Amino acid sequence: MKEKKKSDVSVLLDYAGSHKGLTFLGLTLSAVSMVLSMAPYICIWLAARDLIAVAPDWTQARGVARYGWISFAFAFAGILLYFAGLMCTHLAAFRTASNIRKQGVAHVMKAPLGYFDANASGLIRGRLDAAASDTETLLAHNLADIVGTIVLFIAMVILMFVFDWRMGIACLLAAVISVASMFTMMGGKNAKIMAEYQTAQDRMTKAGTEYVRGIPVVKIFQQTVYSFKSFQKAIEDYSAKAEHYQANVCRIPQSINLTFTEGAFVFLVPAALFLAPNALKHGTFAGFVTDFAFYAVFSAIISTALARIMFASSGVMLAGTALGRINRVMEAPSLKIPAHPQTPHSNKVEFQDVSFTYDGAESAALTHVSFTAEPGQTIALVGPSGGGKTTAASLIPRFWDVTSGSVKIGGVDVKNMDPHVLMDQVAFVFQNNRLFKASILENVRAARPDASREQVRAALMAAQCQDILNKLPDGLDTMIGTEGTYLSGGEQQRIALARAILKDAPIVVLDEATAFADPENEVLIQKAFSTLTKGRTVIMIAHRLSTVVGADKIIVLNKGCISEEGSHNELLTSDGLYARMWADYNKAVQWRISSEKEAR
Ligand SMILES: Nc1ncnc2c1ncn2[C@@H]1O[C@H](COP(=O)(O)OP(=O)(O)OP(=O)(O)O)[C@@H](O)[C@H]1O
């Protein structure tokens, strides 16, 4: 049997968990308060009827004051229940929104790290935050208003038809036209247009963020916003989608709605005139006027109710698109966790016939790559740009999972290891070191939260960071990135090396990027490297060939394949790609030395 598709609201209510009942309680209270809110209108009508009946001797109308009190009591009770209902729906809405945020973050945490390359964490957070707040409005206000108004409508229809079904129809006709015009805005083609409009808004926000990030480049090259084609296109696209949405979805229904909401009694006067002769024949003029007053008063409630529905229905649409955004976060792929994790027997790292293609890429980034790093060995990955070095290194911590073949640590496929054990086994130092806006202590301690201050200090010393600590005002407790405390690229890298040293993992994956370091920094970084790599299995991505001369094995990756492998001397003898790269590298070094000499 085909499974019935759940409505957006019930999917959202599932996020409320144990607070779902509170939402229903809030909705019930809101519905009851709406029914009670009709009482003052009925009392006004009853008072008007009594007054008209005894006119012009008003003193005869003894019940009027009583109606006033009853009306007050019902209005007061209605307001109290409405507030109690709102308290319930608000509590449930806050919990639902926080559950959405928590579940979204928890789900994304299970995604492979590579997922964050294509989905910036800021964007995911922004998407979740905005979607959660949109649902908050629906669950806290809109839903209660919709349920309450529907109940109010039903009660009104019953009441009106009990009095005079013809006047009832006249009264409701305007309402039906209004509601029908509004419903044409929802669902089908219009929901698609609304979703496109929201997506265009998302895209513009994303492109705006990229533009702000790229402002330095724009300024340096004296460009204008128009040089940021994607941002310009996103703005134009958003503007077109917004106009399309206004023109095709909103304009006509909202005009009809406004006309009939404000003029809910347009059909009432003709109906009254039509029914007047017969009514006057069987009753008094006073009775006829009173009945007309009843419907005139109720048409005012219809206007209020319609305005409420109109406001609330936009909340439903907004929540529908918000749910779409939440679903996109929830669709993030999860890292497959083994049911029976295996423990590695050693620190050997093996690539066995590994091929890997990025999602959506036309060609493979790695093809049939096999190599082994024995425990304690240093393996250098070298090769032209785009050869696959970073990709190969990223497969060890499961940034991505191999397309075919296997990556093993100590004889166990990384896919069969407990992810926590995998992370404990391997320390990473990437080019983009990602220091947080926090103290140096906290930055280094991120690798091992239970480490003492002394252990952190020792790791910093081993990573040659003495000079950094000496020059900073608060030493270990200096906040990085605030009040002018900024570190150079080389200094940041040494802090990141301290973090890896503190982690004390038996396997180290290192993206050696000293290109931006000055000679002094470079010497210190090299010393920190040798401390970090001593006695460990090291996979090193090398950009500068001087650092790989001492490696146990050099793997030359070109266009995703291993084109050569061996020690430095072996590769020079075989006179292939590596030998050419080495010659080029030496030429570049010679050129630098001679230009520096000339400059002096
Ligand atoms: N996230 C990604 N999505 C799709 N393709 C990618 C992605 N990252 C890298 N690639 C592609 O995979 C191939 C290998 O890239 P990789 O970054 O591993 O090379 P590399 O040898 O580390 O290069 P470099 O020395 O310039 O850092 C390249 O063709 C690259 O365009």
Write down all domains in the chain, each with its CATH number in brackets: 8-330 (1.20.1560.10), 349-599 (3.40.50.300)
- DSSP string for 319-355: HHHHHHHHHHHHTSPPPPPPSS----SSS-EEEEEEE
Residue 234 structure tokens? 């996103």
Give the pLDDT confidence score for residue 218 in this predicted structure: 64
How would you write the pLDDT of the chain (600 residues) with one tens digit per residue? Answer: 455 667 777 888 888 888 889 999 999 999 999 889 888 888 888 888 888 777 777 777 778 888 989 999 999 999 999 999 999 999 999 999 889 888 888 888 777 777 766 666 667 777 788 888 888 888 888 888 888 888 887 888 788 777 778 878 887 787 778 778 877 877 778 888 888 888 898 888 888 887 777 776 666 665 665 557 778 888 999 999 999 998 988 888 888 877 876 666 677 778 888 887 877 777 777 777 777 777 777 776 776 776 677 677 777 777 777 888 888 888 877 778 888 989 898 999 999 999 999 988 889 999 999 999 999 999 999 999 889 998 999 899 888 899 999 999 999 999 999 988 888 888 888 766 667 778 888 888 888 888 899 899 998 988 888 888 888 878 888 887 665 567 777 788 888 888 888 988 899 898 876 555 566 677 777 777 778 878 889 998 987 787 788 889 999 999 999 999 999 999 999 889 999 988 888 887 677 666 666 666
Atom of ligand 1 nearest to the CA of 381: 21
Give the pLDDT confidence score for residue 593 in this predicted structure: 61
Give the pLDDT confidence score for residue 592 in this predicted structure: 63
Burial letters 565-577, b for 16+ CB under 10 A, else e: bbebeebeeeeeb
Q: How far is the CA of 390 from the centre of ligand 1 (A)?
A: 7
Task: Indicate which residue's Cα is closest to atom 25 of ligand 1.
Answer: 385
388 CB within 6 A, ligand 1: yes
Give the strand pairing for 366-373 and 412-413: unpaired
Specify which residues 373 forms β-bridges with. 349
117 CB within 6 A, ligand 1: yes
558 CB within 6 A, ligand 1: no
Specify which residues 382 forms β-bridges with. 556
Give the pLDDT confidence score for residue 262 in this predicted structure: 67
Q: How far is the CA of 375 from the centre of ligand 1 (A)?
A: 27
Atom of ligand 1 nearest to the CA of 560: 14
Of 145, 163, 149, give the one whose Cα is nearest residue 268: 163
Residue 438 structure tokens? 């926090």
Please state, in angstroms and rounded to a whole number, the distance separating the CA atoms of residues 101 and 326.
9
Give the pLDDT confidence score for residue 264 in this predicted structure: 62
361 CB within 6 A, ligand 1: yes
Task: Indicate which residue's Cα is closest to atom 7 of ligand 1.
Answer: 358
Local structure of residue 216 (DSSP, 8 states): H
Indicate the top mutation candidate among 390, 539, 561 to test ligand 1's pocket, ranked by most ligand atoms within 8 A of CB.
390
Indicate the top mutation candidate among 351, 354, 356, 358 to test ligand 1's pocket, ranked by most ligand atoms within 8 A of CB.
358
End-to-end CA distance of the chain: 84
Give the pLDDT confidence score for residue 417 in this predicted structure: 92
Q: How far is CA 150 from CA 31, 32, 84, 147, 516, in A?
A: 8, 11, 19, 5, 67
Give the pLDDT confidence score for residue 513 in this predicted structure: 62
pTM for the model stands at: 0.64
Q: How far is CA 510 from CA 63, 119, 316, 324, 409, in A?
A: 90, 24, 50, 39, 16
